[in-house]
């Protein structure tokens, strides 16, 4: 039981390049989330999904797109990377959304955009 | 809009001392999480506080929740070096999302 995994762990992009971050969970969770973590700001929600085939915007969605084609996978895409997207990205999943349903976090992806 | 604020943001303390980290939030919520993050690592869940007056303890850490004051505290007793990490509180909004505080970086010196 691997929990939540993320691929890749590290990536360096040049401005304008595109990439996709992959999140996978093996806990049969309905809900999945993408956060970014910047120094001194805690984690901020980018996009989330309440089930296969559904996505919704979070607090900071601009410049990102997501897809949830399979229940176990949640992809985060950057179509044209900008230096402001340099951050650590965390994926999380939960059985449901809300108070009693704990989110489980992946190990993170450190992205640098030059 | 729910806002979550922690203080202090940085805490340097001697081993053996006690201290408290505070987490204030701006709108009604009765569900709060505390996480620990080691440098370069992911978030590890420490406590889930589900009701007013809830108190949970694990080793040298004790967390409490006062929903009327919109305040949670994380108390550290007789700190040891292994507790050095960044601690986050996160509050569940009325839409079910987690809103995080800025984090408190704790450095315990021998």
**B19/chain A closest Cα distance in angstroms:** 21
- A93, A29 Cβ separation under 8 angstroms: yes
- A3, A92 Cβ separation under 8 angstroms: no
Residue with more model confidence, B104 or A96: B104
Q: Whose CA is closest to B62, among B74, B78, B49?
A: B74
- B83, B107 Cβ separation under 8 angstroms: no
Q: In B, which residues are within 8 Å of A41 by CB distance?
A: 102
Calculate the dihedral angle through the C-alpha atoms of A25, A28, A30, A32, rounding to the nearest 10 degrees: -10
- Residue A25 is predicted with a pLDDT of 97
Q: Please state the length of chain A.
A: 114
User: How do strand B32-37 and strand B43-49 relate by DSSP bridges?
Assistant: antiparallel
Does residue A102 belong to the interface with chain B, where contact is any CB pair within 8 Å? Answer: yes
Best of A99, A109, A110 to substitute, by most chain B Cβ atoms within 10 angstroms, is A99
**Angle at B49 (CA atoms; ends A55, A38), nearest 5 degrees:** 50
Judged by CB atoms closer than 8 Å, whether chains meet at B100 and A43 is answered as yes
**A17/chain B closest Cα distance in angstroms:** 25
What ranges make up the beta strands (E) of A26-108? 31-37, 43-49, 56-57, 65-67, 73-78, 87-94, 104-105
- Residue A61 is predicted with a pLDDT of 96
**pLDDT, tens digit, 9 for 90 and up, residues A68-85:** 999 999 999 999 999 999
Can you read off the two tokens belonging to residue A25? Answer: 């969970």
Residue A100 has pLDDT above 90, yes or no: no
Identify the band that residue A99 occupies on the pLDDT scale cut at 50, 70 and 90. low
**pLDDT, tens digit, 9 for 90 and up, residues B58-98:** 999 999 999 999 999 999 999 999 999 999 999 988 777 88
Can you read off the two tokens belonging to residue B25? Answer: 């939030």
**pLDDT, tens digit, 9 for 90 and up, residues A14-72:** 999 999 999 999 999 999 999 999 987 789 999 999 999 999 999 999 999 999 999 99
Spatial distance between the Cα atoms of A42 and B1, rounded to a whole number of angstroms: 16
Judged by CB atoms closer than 8 Å, whether chains meet at A102 and B50 is answered as no
- A67, A51 Cβ separation under 8 angstroms: no
Identify the band that residue A1 occupies on the pLDDT scale cut at 50, 70 and 90. low
Does residue A27 belong to the interface with chain B, where contact is any CB pair within 8 Å? Answer: no
Spatial distance between the Cα atoms of A4 and A111, rounded to a whole number of angstroms: 18
What is the greatest pairwise CA distance in chain A?
A: 41
Judged by CB atoms closer than 8 Å, whether chains meet at B88 and A43 is answered as yes
Of B45, B50, B103, the CB nearest to A42: B103
């Amino acid at each position: 039981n691997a929990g939540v995994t993320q691929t890749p762990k590290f990536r360096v992009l040049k401005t304008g390049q595109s990439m996709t971050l992959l999140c996978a969970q093996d806990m049969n969770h309905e809900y999945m989330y993408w956060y970014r973590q910047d120094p001194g700001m805690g984690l901020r929600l980018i996009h989330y999904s309440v089930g296969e085939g559904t996505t919704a915007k979070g607090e900071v969605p601009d410049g990102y797109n997501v897809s949830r084609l399979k229940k176990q996978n949640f992809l985060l895409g950057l179509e044209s990377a900008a230096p402001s997207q340099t951050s650590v990205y965390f994926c999380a999943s939960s059985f449901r959304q809300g108070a009693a349903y704990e989110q489980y976090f992946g190990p993170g992806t450190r992205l640098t955009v030059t | 809009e729910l806002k979550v604020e922690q203080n202090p943001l940085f805490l340097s303390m001697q081993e053996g001392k006690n201290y408290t980290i505070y987490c204030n939030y701006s709108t009604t919520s009765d569900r709060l999480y505390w996480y620990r993050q080691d440098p370069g690592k992911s978030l590890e869940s420490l406590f889930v506080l589900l009701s007013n007056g809830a108190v949970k303890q694990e080793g040298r850490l004790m967390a409490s929740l006062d929903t009327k004051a919109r305040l949670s505290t994380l108390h550290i007793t007789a700190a040891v070096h292994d507790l050095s990490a960044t601690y986050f509180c996160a509050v569940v909004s009325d839409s079910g999302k987690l809103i995080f505080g800025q984090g408190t970086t704790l450095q315990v010196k021998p």
